[in-house]
């Protein structure tokens, strides 16, 4: 466009007008860097003092470091105005975005990154290769409130490995449950799958599993089918326990779930296992629990044998 030669008797303006080409398009030169006006590096306060943006960011970080504070940019904007800044909310957003201080972005950048599932269906070829973990609400009628049932199952055999029923389950409770589980079973090559509950995405839980050599993977949001084995268990619990019992207390519920899971592992038949219970399936395939448990149980029993023999 810039290379054509104008006639000495005709102006460039006339040529552009006749050809219908806007002069802004003809004279436009593409520049490097961010488009628009260069952002300011200073921020003014109500008393007229100019403050460097680095100081503003320090104030933003000090606000976010308050306990329980998870403000977005608009709340931070209000806080900065309370501190005497004359600042636009768009500038607050820009500063927080550049320095990864926006709420949603900040969560993703702290600690161990989450690994989401690559394959929707689990294909377990041996016991303790893939575990599934999830929480189900259980209504306690006598207390008029819900309790939380945390369960871990083996995807290969559908066996319930461990569970916990409490009114509140926090990240520390998850770590305790998993610690007891990993003490009892061998952990080589384990992958544990769970949803994005606050107890599971907690940094300390993810770091604990990483330190133990356990691969943790997260299902995508609103995709319960990616954790189908434990969702099927919850469906059975709803039909076979929750809809048939009224729990007088959480202790009453604990006793019933202890009995149910014992029956579930040893007697309840599963179509996917050839109409066998999890323990029957492991036994008939020469995969009974003992081979993939740790030796700690054997050591404890052997330590008690001399005492038993003396008695």
Shared domain for 139 and 211, answered yes or no, is: yes
- Tell me if 256 is assigned to some domain: yes
Domain limits for position 84: 42-109
Shared domain for 209 and 258, answered yes or no, is: yes
Q: Which residues of the chain have pLDDT under 50?
A: 1-2, 67, 105-111, 289-291, 295-311
Taking phi over 0 as left and psi of -120 to 50 as alpha, with beta for the rest, 222 belongs to left
DSSP letter for each residue of 65-123 = TSTT----HHHHHHHHHHTTEE--HHHHHHHHHHTT-SHHHHHHHSSSPP-B-S-SS--
Shared domain for 77 and 152, answered yes or no, is: no
Shared domain for 141 and 101, answered yes or no, is: no
Element (DSSP H or E) covering residue 297:
helix 296-310
Beta bridge partners of 138: 147
Q: How far is CA 80 from CA 43, 91, 115, 151, 302, in A?
A: 11, 12, 36, 45, 67
Rounded to 5 degrees, φ, ψ at 180 are: -65, -35
Shared domain for 228 and 82, answered yes or no, is: no
| Straight-line distance from the first to the last Cα atom of the chain, in angstroms, rounded to the nearest whole number | 105
pLDDT at 111: 47
- Tell me if 280 is assigned to some domain: yes
- Tell me if 278 is assigned to some domain: yes
pLDDT at 228: 92
Rounded to whole angstroms, the Cα distance separating 264 from 233 reads: 10
Shared domain for 184 and 239, answered yes or no, is: yes
Q: How many CB atoms lie within 10 A of CB 124?
A: 17
Six token digits for residue 48 = 């007229």
Beta bridge partners of 216: 192
- Tell me if 204 is assigned to some domain: yes
pTM above 0.95, yes or no: no
- Tell me if 248 is assigned to some domain: yes
CB-side neighbour CA atoms (13 Å) of 54? 0
Residue matched to tokens 């104030």: 59
Which residues, at least 6 apart from 80, have a Cβ–Cβ distance to it below 8 Å? 56, 59, 60, 87, 92
Residue matched to tokens 């466009």: 1
pLDDT at 125: 84
Shared domain for 26 and 57, answered yes or no, is: no
Our count of domains for the chain comes to: 3
Burial 205-243 (b: 16+ CB within 10 A, else e): bbebbeeeebebbbbeeeeeebbbbbeebbeebeeebbe
Boundary (domain end) residue, out of 109, 141, 159: 109
- Tell me if 72 is assigned to some domain: yes
Do residues 288 and 282 make contact, with C-beta atoms less than 8 angstroms apart? yes
pLDDT at 176: 94
Q: State pLDDT tens for residues 82-116.
A: 999 999 999 999 998 888 888 654 333 344 567 77
Q: State pLDDT tens for residues 189-219.
A: 899 999 999 999 999 999 999 999 999 999 9
Domain with residue 197: its CATH number is: 3.30.420.10
Q: Where are the beta strands (DSSP E) in the chain?
A: 42-45, 50-52, 85-86, 130-140, 145-154, 160-166, 191-194, 215-218
Shared domain for 137 and 286, answered yes or no, is: yes
- Tell me if 59 is assigned to some domain: yes
Rounded to whole angstroms, the Cα distance separating 259 from 273 reads: 21
Six token digits for residue 228 = 């189908």
Shared domain for 230 and 104, answered yes or no, is: no
Shared domain for 100 and 183, answered yes or no, is: no
Shared domain for 175 and 239, answered yes or no, is: yes
- Tell me if 310 is assigned to some domain: no
Rounded to 5 degrees, φ, ψ at 294 are: -75, 170
Shared domain for 177 and 254, answered yes or no, is: yes
Q: Quick one: how far is CA 304 from the chain centroid?
A: 43
């Amino acid at each position: 466009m810039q290379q054509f030669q104008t006639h000495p008797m005709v102006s460039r303006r006339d040529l552009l007008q006749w050809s219908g080409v806007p002069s802004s398009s003809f004279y436009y030169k593409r520049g490097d860097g961010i488009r628009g006006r260069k952002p300011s590096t200073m921020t003014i306060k109500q008393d007229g003092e100019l403050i460097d943006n680095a100081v503003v960011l320090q104030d933003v970080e000090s606000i976010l470091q308050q306990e329980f504070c998870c403000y977005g940019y608009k709340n931070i904007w209000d806080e900065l105005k309370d501190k005497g800044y004359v600042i636009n909310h768009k500038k607050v957003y820009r500063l927080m975005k550049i320095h990864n201080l926006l709420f949603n972005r900040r969560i993703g950048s702290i600690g161990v990154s989450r690994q989401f599932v690559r394959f929707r269906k689990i294909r377990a070829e041996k016991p303790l290769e893939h575990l599934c973990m999830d929480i189900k609400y259980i209504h306690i009628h006598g207390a008029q409130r819900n309790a939380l049932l945390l369960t871990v199952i083996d995807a290969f055999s559908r066996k319930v490995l461990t569970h916990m029923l409490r009114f509140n389950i926090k990240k520390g409770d998850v770590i305790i449950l998993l610690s007891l589980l990993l003490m009892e079973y061998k952990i080589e090559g384990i992958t544990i799958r769970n949803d994005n509950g606050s107890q599971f995405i907690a940094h300390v839980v993810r770091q604990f599993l990483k330190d133990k050599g356990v691969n943790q993977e997260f299902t995508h949001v609103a995709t319960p089918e990616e954790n189908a084995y434990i969702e099927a268990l919850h469906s059975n619990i709803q039909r076979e326990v929750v809809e048939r019992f009224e729990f007088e207390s959480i202790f009453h519920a604990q006793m019933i779930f202890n009995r149910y899971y014992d029956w579930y592992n040893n007697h309840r038949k599963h179509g996917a296992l050839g109409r066998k219970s999890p323990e029957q399936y492991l036994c008939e395939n020469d995969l009974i629990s003992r081979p993939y448990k740790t030796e700690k149980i054997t050591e404890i029993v052997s330590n008690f044998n001399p005492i038993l023999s003396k008695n």
